[in-house]
Amino acid sequence: MEIIIQATQQAANEVAARIVARLLHEKPNAVLGLATGSTPLGLYQALIGMNLDWSQVTTFNLDEYIGLPREHPQSYHSFMWENLFQHVNIAKENVHIPDGNAEDIPKFCAAYEDQIRTAGGIDLQVLGIGTDGHIGFNEPTSSLASRTRIKTLTQQTCKDNARFFGSEEAVPKHVITMGIGTIMEARQNLLLAFGDNKSSAIAEAVEGPITSINPASALQMHPLVKVCLDDPAASKLQRADYYRWVYDNKPAWQIF
Ligand code: PGA
């Protein structure tokens, strides 16, 4: 894992945006895995500001609530169009977001996995992390080999997401999410985390044992992961000084 710690969220987002932009320059028809929630908003704003060419880009989103109408303001369909897709020249047919209203959820999930494979696999997957260590909506004790499927959210995640829905009760309890196994097949993962409330989850994911109790810790087994943090999210990392040292001493060709 490459841990990139920046003083501010904005600085960390700028690094993350340069990583994505480099990929799109090198591979204009890249397949991106995308995330929702508060975390990737700054990255998406930075990418919009870069005026990149998205005309050949294909995207797959990590997850979606089950049962929310697609037009609901808190659906991840609405989120993605509002915060990224309507601002870039992406082709609508290249956008893939799980269908939380699919009649046959297991069949839909298997087809989603097929679509990812048919597209050539995900080149770069953007990830946030839950306060409980979830990536996508793979809650603690998710199988580390899991694929796209239905999950039931933890009470903690419902509490965390109540801010978007006005109350905890209004948060849908079920979601479709790519599995940890799906995420592990992305060629590169880019995990973002900001704020002190993510510091424990990040410390466990980066420096703790690999365990399904912190699903993000599975990324320790992935060959290419970058973790972009602001200082507060990095505050519980025991080796933060080492990670800063590594970043400050990168060979020129490795600098984003
Ligand atoms: P957040 O959620 O970005 O809204 O903090 C992260 C997550 O649940 O993965």
98 lines ligand 1 (CB under 6 A): no
User: pLDDT at position 169, please?
Assistant: 94
- β-sheet with 174-177: strand ranges across: 63-65, 174-177, 149-152
Contact 64, 108 (CB under 8 A): no
Asked if the model's pLDDT at residue 252 lies above 90, the reply is: no
Residues designated catalytic: 63, 132, 134, 139
Ligand 1: atom nearest CA of 195 is 5
For residue 208, give every residue at least 6 positions away whose Cβ sits within 8 Å of its Cβ, in sequence order, or none: 214, 217
Q: What is the pLDDT of residue 115?
A: 98
* Percent of the chain's residues with pLDDT above 90: 97
pLDDT tens-digit readout, 27-69 = 999 999 999 999 999 999 999 999 999 999 999 999 999 999 9
Arithmetic mean of pLDDT over the chain: 97
**Residue 249 CA to ligand 1 centre (angstroms):** 31
Per-residue pLDDT reduced to its tens digit, 113-162: 999 999 999 999 999 999 999 999 999 999 999 999 999 999 999 999 99
Amino acid at 162: A
Q: What separation in Å is there between the alpha carbon of 80 and the centre of ligand 1?
A: 14
Does the structure show a pLDDT above 90 at 77? yes
Contact 171 CB / ligand 1 (< 6 Å) = no
Residue nearest to atom 8 of ligand 1 (CA): 130
Q: What is the pLDDT of residue 228?
A: 98
Say if residues 152 and 174 touch (Cβ distance below 8 Å): yes
Q: How many angstroms is it from 106 CA to the middle of ligand 1?
A: 25
Q: Is the CB of 42 under 6 A from ligand 1?
A: no
pLDDT tens-place string over residues 158-169: 999 999 999 999
Can you tell me which atom of ligand 1 is nearest the CA of 36? 3
Give the model's pLDDT for residue 245: 96
d(CA 231, CA 12): 9
Give the fold, CATH level 3, of 2-236+243-249: Rossmann fold (3.40.50)
pLDDT(225) > 90: yes
The pLDDT, as a whole number, for residue 255 is 82
pLDDT of residue 256: 79
pLDDT at residue 253 greater than cutoff 90: no
Q: Is 38 touching ligand 1 by the criterion CB < 6 Å?
A: yes
Domain range annotation of the chain? 2-236+243-249
Ligand 1 centre distance from Cα of residue 27 (Å): 28
Confidence of residue 112 (pLDDT cuts 50, 70, 90): very high
Q: Is 37 in the pocket of ligand 1 (CB under 6 A)?
A: yes
Across the beta sheet with 95-96, the strand order is 2-6, 225-230, 189-193, 124-127, 31-34, 58-61, 95-96
Q: What is the pLDDT of residue 254?
A: 84
- Gap between the Cα atoms of 197 and 159, Å rounded: 13
Which DSSP symbol is given to 159?
H
**pTM for the full predicted model:** 0.97
Spatial separation of the C-alpha atoms in residues 108 and 122, rounded to whole Å = 18
